[in-house]
Amino acid sequence: MDILQFAICNLQSPVPAVQRFHVARLVIGLSVTLVLAAGVARGDRFQLTGGGQVEGRLIESNDDDKSLLVIELTDGGRLKIPRSEVTRIESRSALEIEYEKLARSSPDTIEAHLELAEWCRERKLRDNAQQHFARILELDPDHEAARAALGFRQKDGQWMTRDDVMAARGLVLYEGRYVAPQHVELLERQKQTKVSQADWAKHLEQLRRWLTGRRQDRAAQALAEVQQLRDPAATEAVVAMLRREDDPALRRLWIEVASRLNRRPAIDALVELSLTDPDPEIRHDCLDHLIKSGRPGLATPFIRALKDSDNEMVNRAAAALGQIGDRDAINPLIDALITKHRFKVGDGDPNQHAYAFSPDSGAFSFGGGGPQIVTQALRNPDVLSALVTLSDGQSFDYDQRQWRRWLAAQSKLHAVDVRRDQ
């Protein structure tokens, strides 16, 4: 007698229910192993139009009639059934089939349900395990192991779920984590904003295609819609269109829209383009729209750009500050009259010497043996021009000391005027 026969004999013998449960586990486990070894890995459940169901495995049929399904039944035999009578086919794994057989043969006792729940947990059938723990609580409401498995904690003599504990702390469960109720409103708004941004991105792509398409009616419709755009939710999509647009006319259109929206991402993009875009007309358009917006603190990013490592960027920032007209930029501009920058000179010829001139010392420096990195102090004409503009025509050339003396005198004069006004 092999192991399977021995187990079946014990299953049929008059032994206690819990003992039969353990034997049943052995029988089903061995049976499934043999089935898997034979190559049958899955089973199907066929839901019928009348509300019933059939369990088995869908097999290939050589019949010409494609309106019939051929099912190899779990209990043996084959069944042909019209396709029209089957509403749904649910595929089940061998593990699910094993569980169902085991559950059907298990008695409705605390011990049996606990065994089944542990069996399910070991095989990561969490939902099935929860069902058995819940049934245990129906049979014994104070069963500690089942309570713990279902997330209950004892607090002040009462069983409470984690949700109950968190609710007592003023928190609610939202998408897998506990947050304050007011935070839920914020998260919902953020989610809606993301959806709106995605919708705008798709819609603007369509308008972009219409603007450059052959149909004049659609082009006119798209242009009118873009020109009337005011929704702040479209800001991210507009900025994205602006950054990747290569048509000069359309770039100017997106610049106009971005400036009209007047949101932080749009302003940041316009500031960046006003400094870095290779097209001077685009730089001018961006700055012009920024100035017309009258946004407070507009000079701040351009003042920061005065410390850029690129000398050309320093001069562009200074020119912008001269047009913005914010006198708070005078002191940073004085510091930027002469700036030091690092340059690579020489083409790699070891016999060539690289020369550099320092305006501060009036001395030349040179090196040889290939490319050299040198530091040069450069005078910035656009910085000087901005200072002259903001100081109402004063000019001390590149003499930073003279400029600082003048600024200090202006500050004292302003302080005196303020005291007189008081």
- DSSP states of 310-370 as a string? SHHHHHHHHHHHHHHT-GGGHHHHHHTSEEEEEEEE--S-TT-EEEEEETTTTEEEEEESS
What is the tens place of the pLDDT at every residue in 162-181? 676 677 677 777 777 777 87
Q: How confident is the model at residue 369 (pLDDT cuts 50, 70, 90)?
A: low
pTM of the model: 0.51
What is the tens place of the pLDDT at every residue in 108-157? 999 999 999 999 999 889 989 989 988 998 999 888 888 888 878 777 66
What is the tens place of the pLDDT at every residue in 376-415? 899 999 999 999 999 999 999 999 999 999 999 988 776 5
Tokens of 220: 């006119």
Res 34 pLDDT > 60: no
Q: Give the Cα separation of 371 and 356 in Å (integer).
A: 13
pLDDT at residue 51, as a whole number:
83
> Residue ranges of the domains in the chain?
3-153, 193-295
Mean pLDDT of 183-199: 70
Three-class DSSP category at 129 = helix
Q: Which fold has domain 3-153?
A: SH3 type barrels. (2.30.30)
Per DSSP bridges, beta strands 158-161 and 152-155 are antiparallel
pLDDT at residue 157, as a whole number:
66
What is the tens place of the pLDDT at every residue in 224-251? 999 999 888 899 999 999 999 999 999 9
